[in-house]
Amino acid sequence: MDAFINYCNKISPLTAEAIEELSSRIKSKTFKKGQVINKEGQICRNFFFINKGLVKHYYPYKGRIFIIRFFSENNVFTVLDSFIQQAPAVFTTIALEDTETMQLTYNDIQELCKRHHCFETIIRKIFGMAAVINLKRIKEMFDGDATELYKNFEIENHHLLQRISLGDIASYLGISQVTLSRIRANP
């Protein structure tokens, strides 16, 4: 729990009262490798902080899997549109490794935001950062060629390269594994 509180405090300081209430509401939840955390069509009712492990968001389309994003230690995740709107998700989230999380429900987030302006500020900033990251991801998919996309992925996710399968990296980049192998063979 301390790691999540530290994460929050780096974004914007929490009051002692907010920390106390946050601590009373947050729950730990573990997921086994391969376990679905939230599936397409299901309303995402939880907001997660990863203590240990790795997850991915993906979108199945016409028999293909498009990986939207990876999340690892000391990061937060949720199916953003589903969580905010409390509507069915279009993405699926799955654990790529045994994953230990801290979670807050949608109702917990709403109550904490109502009672503590400092927590509302943190959530607003987290959702704002997520929007910026998603826009950057969309832009790179339109602008980048496969080699450029891989180089950027390698720079931004060097700490994850040994933990993510080549198939998942290729899916994230929107290329075949054969193309990815060629790119990796020509540094």
Query: Do residues 65 and 59 lie in contact, with contact meaning Cβ atoms separated by under 8 Å?
Result: yes
- Domains located in the chain, CATH noted: 2-143 (2.60.120.10)
Can you give the pLDDT at residue 38? 96
Phi/psi at 76 (nearest 5 deg)? Answer: -105, 155
77-96 confidence digits (pLDDT tens): 999 999 999 999 999 999 99
92-125 confidence digits (pLDDT tens): 999 999 999 999 999 999 999 999 999 999 999 9
Q: Residues 83-86: contacts with CB within 8 Å, 24+ apart?
A: 83/44, 83/45, 83/46, 83/47, 84/127, 86/43, 86/45
This prediction has a pTM of 0.92
pLDDT band per the 50, 70, 90 thresholds, residue 187: low
